[in-house]
Amino acid sequence: MARFDCDILISGGGIAGLTAAAAFGTAGFDVICVDPTPPVTDRDDLRADMRSTAMLQPARAVLEAAGLWERLAPHASPLQVMRIVDAGGEMLEPRLTKDFNAADVSDLPFGWNLPNWLLRREMVARLSELPNVDFRPGTGTTSLFTRLSEARVGLGDGTRVRARLVIAADGRNSPMRQAAGIGVRTRRYGQKALAFAVTHPIPHENVSTEIHRSGGPFTLVPLPDRGGMPSSAIVWMDDGPLAQERHDMDVAAFETAMSDRSCYLFGPLTLASHRTIWPIISQQAERLSGERLALIAEAAHVVPPIGAQGLNMSLADTATLLDLARQRPEDLGDVQMLDAYHKARYSDITLRVHGIDLLNRASQVSDPTLRDARAMGLNALYSMGPVRRRLMRLGLGVR
């Protein structure tokens, strides 16, 4: 029997974990990926994740290396313009609108939007093509024991896996992070987010629109047409009790509420999916690695859904870890590799966690004076061309 059951055990079969499994498997590493909850890959399933993910430019290289981009490209909606709308006055009409066009900094769109349920479907299909990847949905991790030379992971089915490296992609309450004794710093905002899909009569023209009022942003991200109508994915953040109340509204009342909140920029909105809801927090692990363990995605960092940063930070984690593994495959998971991973990612993660925290706090304000200051700040920032372009590049994840 071989000393190791696999090179890498990935705890977590969400989008980040599935991407990591495809990326490391395509690179030739033997991978086992486990998750206690089988992925939902049907849009009409009530358990389906109705959020969407904007894959920014750097993410495309990760997806290509994982053999995923060819599968995803036919379903992707390009994001050419990011539109910021301040609607902080008393009227439904927006009082300030600014467009950030990818053409100012690149020949490519900012990114490409894809529904999360579809990402899972295509990623699971990709893993089935890789003979060196063993995906075990319905099985989770229960224990972690590490030595300098190996990790031993207990699984929910009673088996134990010996691996050279464990990648924790198992969410904000990561059992592997907890087993390793790595702490987190958490901020709570009292907000919840609703996610759902809509159709609307006015085309989105590949513009992602973020509308700020109070309580949190209302973001419409382009999706492919549905039933012959333009379609968008929406994330609506607000104070928790208000978000829950809207989640429980009947459809007609909810459609009126969301159309009002959208300032009717795309005409009246029609609900085209069920609604999902989740609490908004900001969280960062105190360290990104432990003995034979690397934290990625929400096991390492959680941010409010602003600026399409969350999963793109996660894919940057995977890209960095994969690059280090390729440089010294014989030393996979050793102290030097994992220290290098922590050093390469920690400062960038810290910058983005703090930056998105500030943006979210600004989006929550209800005081008229502070709302005016938010609008003035957006106007001033947009007017400074070099600063605007620098921020756009930073948002893309490039320097």
Helix (H) or strand (E) holding 356: helix 335-364
Look at residue 8 in the predicted model and tell me its pLDDT.
Answer: 98
Closest of 190, 235, 217, 210 to residue 363, by C-alpha: 217
Say what the pTM is. 0.87
More confident residue, 389 or 284: 284
Domains present along the chain, CATH in parentheses: 6-44+122-186+283-361 (3.50.50.60), 73-113+189-279+365-396 (3.30.9.10)
pLDDT tops 60 at residue 372:
no
More confident residue, 329 or 394: 329
Look at residue 87 in the predicted model and tell me its pLDDT.
Answer: 76
Q: Which residues, 6+ apart, have CB-to-CB distance to 32 below 8 Å?
A: 5, 6, 8, 9, 10, 133, 134, 136, 161, 163
Q: Which residues, 6+ apart, have CB-to-CB distance to 254 below 8 Å?
A: 246, 271, 275
325 pLDDT band, cuts 50/70/90, is very high
Look at residue 258 in the predicted model and tell me its pLDDT.
Answer: 97
pLDDT tops 90 at residue 246:
yes
Look at residue 280 in the predicted model and tell me its pLDDT.
Answer: 94
More confident residue, 395 or 297: 297
Q: Round the average pLDDT of the chain to a whole number and report it.
A: 88
Two tokens, residue 30: 């033997």
Neighbouring C-alpha atoms within 13 Å toward the C-beta of 121:
14
SS3 210: strand
Q: What is the dihedral of CA 75, 81, 87, 88, to 10 degrees?
A: 110
Look at residue 381 in the predicted model and tell me its pLDDT.
Answer: 45
